[in-house]
Copies of this chain bind each other. A is one copy, B any other.
Amino acid sequence: MSKRALSVSREENFPEWYQAVVRDGDMAETSPVRGCMIIKPWGWGVWERVQAELDQRIKDTGHENCYFPLFIPMSFIAKEAEHVEGFAKEMAVVTHHRLKNDGGRLVVDPESKLEEPLIVRPTSETIIGDAFQRWVKSYRDLPLLVNQWANVVRWEMRTRLFLRTAEFLWQEGHTAHADRDDAMAETLKMLEVYREFAENVLAMPVIAGEKPANERFPGADNTYSIEAMMQDGKALQAGTSHYLGTHFSRAQNIQYQSAEGKLEYCHTTSWGVSTRLIGGVIMTHGDDDGLRVPPRVAPRQIVIVPMLRDKPEDASLIDYCAGLEQGLKAAGIRTLVDLKPIKSAEKRWAWVRRGAPVIMEIGGRDAAAGNVTFMRRDHLRDGDKVVSKTMSRDEFVAGAAELLDDIQAILFAEAKARLDGNIITGITTFDGLEAYFGSGEADDEAGAFKGWAKVAWSRPEGAELEAIDERLKALKLTIRNAPLAQDPVDGPCLFTGASAKEFVLIARAY
């Protein structure tokens, strides 16, 4: 292969390429605590942008932020039956509250055993439901619309940075409504907020739709998701929104007095996105030189690297760059002059791997001529050659915001073309699925790109659906969702032969 900034290409080995981007792009690293990651400044900066953009949208749709306890009493988890089945498995359990010095060795003090174990929250429906039950009295208190930004823990056996970690960060929205219609409208409204956010901010095109019954959130009547296509063709569930019916309100007694004076159960919803989105950004936009961060979530949108030479002229070059920085910041652009005491070529490549949208290298000649030289990270190379462009500083500053918009649009368009071009239609039999996807065994998977199949089905549930799920799993496939607002379907279900009710998307997934 030709020389790129990473040691492994997407085509050679996609999972290893992913790890290389995360590591060499200073996004995150593993920690000495099993399954928990350390998010490094550049990765955290992306998360801060995600938080800022999404938080504004959550507030604009009428939600208020709160904060609920990290711990959940074990008995709370047990309250909602399906929730127990789904969540009461791999979780961090706090059983003691003290350590003691035992002959010079630190040990858990057996005397400090808790009467009731506490669970580190895997999600907060039960502890928030308990508050809702106190807060909701009358129909006038509804809808109750809250959100929290928090860390949660699910004890995962096989972890992968950002995509699946024991501790992860997310927002979880929780709402209570007077009736089904209002709660369902909320569920779909937040799904649409996620879609708009993923596409317009992360430049990550998604398909919004409803999950099949077997993929529902434990305790939900309906679960909706947005699904994004990664560069290896796999699907990434990037956000979910659940209509919970009255399951949690019945389990926790969340009732209100209606205008007519009757006691009614609330209909509740929950919805969330997590640090997993960052994994999605990486696998949507990264290339063989590293990450490409969409400008709207780039902690630094333009990075200026002065080509310092440890000579007296450096001072005026730094001045020139500071002036440039000032002009860009005045235009509302997140700008950094990188003055770290290392070689400028090293700095340039570090920013390429991190994926800063625009990287400028300014030398004495640029400064003397009132020029700037820059690279666009969305289009770094022509063939193997790195492309840079020189123009007048004033012209660059005047057009910088537009340049970033252009990069954002191009990243989205690239990803959108990939998604649109790789949804296969026309498969009507299970054998057809197998022929297209192959067995999904490791060798097979490493290189070959497989898109998604859009197939007709009759929306089976129960044992019939479970059997289908098993057959798909044998091929490492899952049903991702039934896209919203889809075309009418005609003909038989691929699985059951019965009359089809809708199309669903089938794919390998993270």
Contacts and interface: CB of A to CB of B under 8 A. Distances in A.
Interface string A162-191: 000001010000000000000000000000
A340 B64 CA distance: 14
A202 B31 CA distance: 36
B69 A167 contact: yes
Contacts of A74: 99, 106, 108
Nearest to A85: B101
Interface stretch (A37-45, A236-244, A311-319, A462-470): A37-45
Given A99-B88, A108-B95, A140-B341, A118 B68 contact: no
Given A69-B33, A167-B71, A106 B120 contact: no
Contacts of A78: 106
Contact of A91 (B76, B98, B130, B131): B98
Nearest to A153: B70
A106 B116 CA distance: 11
Nearest to A67: B39
Contacts of A88: 99-101, 106
A90 interface: yes
Interface in A71-102: 71-78, 84, 88-101
Contacts of A167: 69-71
B95 A91 contact: no
A98 B155 contact: yes
Nearest to A74: B106
Interface in A355-385: none
Given A68-B38, A118-B92, A140-B342, A101 B84 contact: yes
A143 to B, nearest CB: 12
Contact of A33 (B44, B71, B77): B71
A66 B40 contact: yes
Interface string A106-147: 101000100001111000000100110000000010000010
Q: Which one of A41, A48, A93 has the highest number of Cβ atoms from chain B below 10 Å of its Cβ? A: A93
Interface in A225-258: none
B69 A155 contact: no
Contact of A108 (B45, B84, B93, B150): B93
A36 interface: yes
A90 B72 CA distance: 19
Contacts of A61: none
Nearest to A154: B97
Contacts of A130: 31-32
A41 B146 contact: yes
A27 to B, nearest CB: 11
Given A41-B64, A77-B99, A78-B106, A33 B94 contact: no
Contact of A67 (B32, B70, B93, B169): B169
Contacts of A98: 89-91, 93, 155
Nearest to A97: B155
A93 B84 contact: no
Contacts of A31: 68-69, 127, 130-131
Contacts of A64: 41, 44-45
Given A31-B68, A84-B101, A146-B41, A120 B95 contact: no
Q: Which one of A69, A98, A108, A169 has the highest number of Cβ atoms from chain B below 10 Å of its Cβ? A: A69
B94 A120 contact: yes
A72 B33 contact: yes
A244 B99 CA distance: 24
A151 interface: yes
Pairs A-B, 8 closest by C-beta atoms: A36-B69, A41-B64, A39-B67, A93-B96, A97-B155, A33-B69, A78-B106, A88-B99
Given A33-B71, A74-B108, 20 more contacts: A32-B130, A33-B73, A36-B69, A36-B71, A40-B66, A41-B66, A44-B66, A70-B120, A71-B92, A71-B167, A77-B99, A77-B106, A88-B106, A90-B98, A93-B94, A93-B99, A94-B120, A95-B95, A97-B155, A98-B155
Interface of A: 29, 31-33, 36-41, 44-45, 47-48, 64-78, 84, 88-101, 106, 108, 112, 117-120, 127, 130-131, 140, 146, 150-151, 153, 155, 167, 169, 340-342
18 contacts: A31-B69, A37-B69, A39-B66, A40-B66, A70-B151, A71-B167, A84-B101, A88-B99, A88-B100, A88-B101, A91-B98, A93-B94, A94-B95, A94-B120, A98-B155, A99-B119, A120-B120, A140-B341
